[in-house]
Amino acid sequence: MDTAATSSRSERSPRSSFIYRRRRGSRRRSGNNLSVDEVREDEKTIKKLKLESRKLRRRFVEESEDLRLLREKFQQQLVIMRAMKMQLDNVASTTTKFQKSAEVEIAAKLGESMQQLRDFETYQKAILKIAQTIVDPPAPESSDDEEEEIPPRTLAQQNLFYSEKVLEKYNRENQGAEFVLAEALVTYPFNSRGTWIIHLNFTAKDKAGNVHRLFGETTVELNPGDPVEVLSYCILTPSDNGDYSSLTKGCRRCDPTCFVPIYHPDESCFKRGHFNPHQP
């Protein structure tokens, strides 16, 4: 009987053997839930996830380091910008102080210049008053037996008188010139080392009809009939300039004597009025 049973089991078909093995595998899965292959597959997946996690962690660390470096660089730039702002504030403060100081200095110099101008105007008025008193002195009292009183010259007559004196000497010392007086322009008296001097401008025509501006320098006729000495004369050139304002650039002026617009030649061409070492 046992032999028959053994014979019958050995004679089972291949299909029945497969079904038997499958049933045994089903019983194993029902006990552990996962097969060996599935477990291995899960382990591989876990390893991959761990590897990806390490990569992500490494990348996070690197990016954190970059972020830290950027933060440090930003802090450095911020410190530099604050320092630059402080420097700019200091420069602005210094500039404001300098500007205020310059404004105060300019205002002081302007006030000083205005005061000097007022002093010059006062001096001019005083000199004109003295000159008028000396050039046109009051006539002394006279009796009936004395000669008729000579009236004082007007300003126009004074200009004409001294212009003619200078022109006479010019024609006398320059033979053939034969200049003719065209217009007596301006005269100005001033005191030079105790002597009263006149500087003057006038125009004259030559034989061809050309008009020239001349400069003259004479002594003052203090009393009628006193001799008048012509100290210097010259024909002015276009480069010669004159004005009573010391602020005029390029002005040739016998400062501080002539306070009216008289054209002057180079200082070597006249003899009196060289009081100011800074004059042209």
The secondary structure of 172-197 as a DSSP string is HHSTT---EEEEEEEEEEEEETTEEE
In whole angstroms, what is the distance from residue 262 CA to residue 249 CA?
15
Confirm if 224 and 232 have CB atoms less than 8 A apart: no
Q: Which residue is it, tokens 């450095």?
A: 76
In whole angstroms, what is the distance from residue 238 CA to residue 176 CA?
24
Give a yes or no: residue 87 inside a domain.
Answer: no
- Radius of gyration over alpha carbons of the chain, in Å? 60
Give a yes or no: residue 186 inside a domain.
Answer: yes
Give a yes or no: residue 225 inside a domain.
Answer: yes
How do residues 51-108 score in pLDDT, each as one tens digit?
A: 988 889 888 888 888 888 888 888 898 899 988 988 888 888 888 888 888 888 888 8
pLDDT computed for residue 182 by the predictor: 94
pLDDT band at 228 (very low <50, low <70, confident <90, very high): very high
pLDDT computed for residue 277 by the predictor: 45
Q: Domain count of the chain?
A: 1
| Domain containing residue 212: CATH number | 3.10.450.10
In whole angstroms, what is the distance from residue 41 CA to residue 85 CA?
65
Give a yes or no: residue 256 inside a domain.
Answer: yes
Q: Do you find a cis peptide bond into 189, omega within 30 degrees of 0?
A: no
| Least confident segment among 66-70, 161-165, 177-181, 274-278 | 274-278
Confirm if 264 and 242 have CB atoms less than 8 A apart: yes
Give a yes or no: residue 242 inside a domain.
Answer: yes
Rounded to 5°, the CA angle 156-159-160 comes to 85
Give a yes or no: residue 91 inside a domain.
Answer: no
pTM of the model: 0.44
Give a yes or no: residue 184 inside a domain.
Answer: yes
How do residues 168-206 score in pLDDT, each as one tens digit?
A: 999 999 987 889 999 998 888 888 778 888 889 999 999
Give a yes or no: residue 159 inside a domain.
Answer: yes
Q: What is the mean pLDDT of the chain?
A: 75
Mean pLDDT of 237-261: 60
Most confident option among 119-123, 140-144, 192-196, 205-209: 205-209
* Domain housing 249: 155-269
